Chain A
Amino acid sequence: MSPPAEPTPTAAARAPDGFWLQHPHYRSYVLFAGTGLVLAIDALIVLRGIRALSEGTAAWAAYLAALGSPIGVAACWALFLGTLFFSIRWLRVGAKIPPVPVPLLFSLPRSVFLVGHYATLGALSVLLALILSGVIL
């Protein structure tokens, strides 16, 4: 009987230092996580709009005017692009996780979920565009 094998020597664990600057994939990951800030600002802008609606016509007009100011336009475009980046990446990551633990779903290729997610995004975006532009409702 041979003696038990020695454990493989490994380096001591240490906290990563500046790891996210060392590889494009990590930079992209940190940028994705950082969109949390973009989404929070989005939510607060929508919340401010609802409060403006409850305050009256003048407050709603002032809200739209603030968003339409040069700084507002630049900020809104930056936020929109950040939101779009988050959306595309989140749906791509989410496609790896079947939403319901059903054997049939687990056997489907990942591309089915990916197409399904992007189709849902497209359909909801069209619906919202129709509502916001006054075509329906």
Chain B
Amino acid sequence: MRLLHKLEPVFWMLFGAGGFAAALILPALMFGLTIAAPAGWLSDYATSYHRVRGLAANPLGQVILAAVISLVLWHAAHHLRHLCLDLGLRRVHAPLAYLLYGLALLGTVASIRAVASL
């Protein structure tokens, strides 16, 4: 618990940054990637493997993608931790917090590895 309290300002900072990253970028990104592209509303050129890979593998694209994925995961972990507290799960609060932040850390490493492999 002491470590959690010590790192609380960091978690809140990541929560805020992740919230804005998610609120400003995810709606359009998710609509384009998960709805418009599979539905065929975008041209074949727009969704072609080589074009999308080129965008994602660009250094700026890599940084943006890794940052958005990581920050959103940290935001989600912090929000879910506090939701569990609000719902009265105080007894399992510490292990739950470590689990959620651990998954966010794992996702951060995975996102950096994924963009680096492009």
A94 within 8 A of B: yes
Looking at B51, B69, B90, B107, which has the most chain A CB atoms within 10 Å of its CB?
Answer: B69
* Contact A68–B107 (Cβ < 8 Å): no
Complex CA gap A36/B19 in Å reads 10
Complex CA gap A83/B25 in Å reads 10
B15's closest neighbor in chain A, by CB?
A36
Complex CA gap A72/B23 in Å reads 22
Contact with B along A23-52 (1 / 0, CB 8 A): 000000010011111011011111101110
* Contact A43–B72 (Cβ < 8 Å): yes
Interface residues of A (CB under 8 A from B): 15-17, 20, 30, 33-37, 39-40, 42-47, 49-51, 53-54, 56-57, 60-61, 64-65, 67-68, 72-73, 76-77, 79-80, 83-84, 86-87, 90-91, 94, 117, 120-121, 124-125, 128-129, 131-134, 137
Q: How many residues from B make CB contacts under 8 Å with A?
A: 58
User: How far is the CB of A38 from the nearest CB of chain B, in Å?
Assistant: 8
A29's closest neighbor in chain B, by CB?
B86
B114's closest neighbor in chain A, by CB?
A50
Closest 6 CB pairs of A and B: A68-B38, A134-B46, A36-B79, A132-B32, A125-B28, A33-B83
Residues of B contacting A125 with CB < 8 Å? 27-28
Dominant secondary structure at the A interface = helix
* Contact B32–A128 (Cβ < 8 Å): yes
User: How far is the CB of B113 from the nearest CB of chain A, in Å?
Assistant: 9
B47's closest neighbor in chain A, by CB?
A64
* Contact A36–B23 (Cβ < 8 Å): no
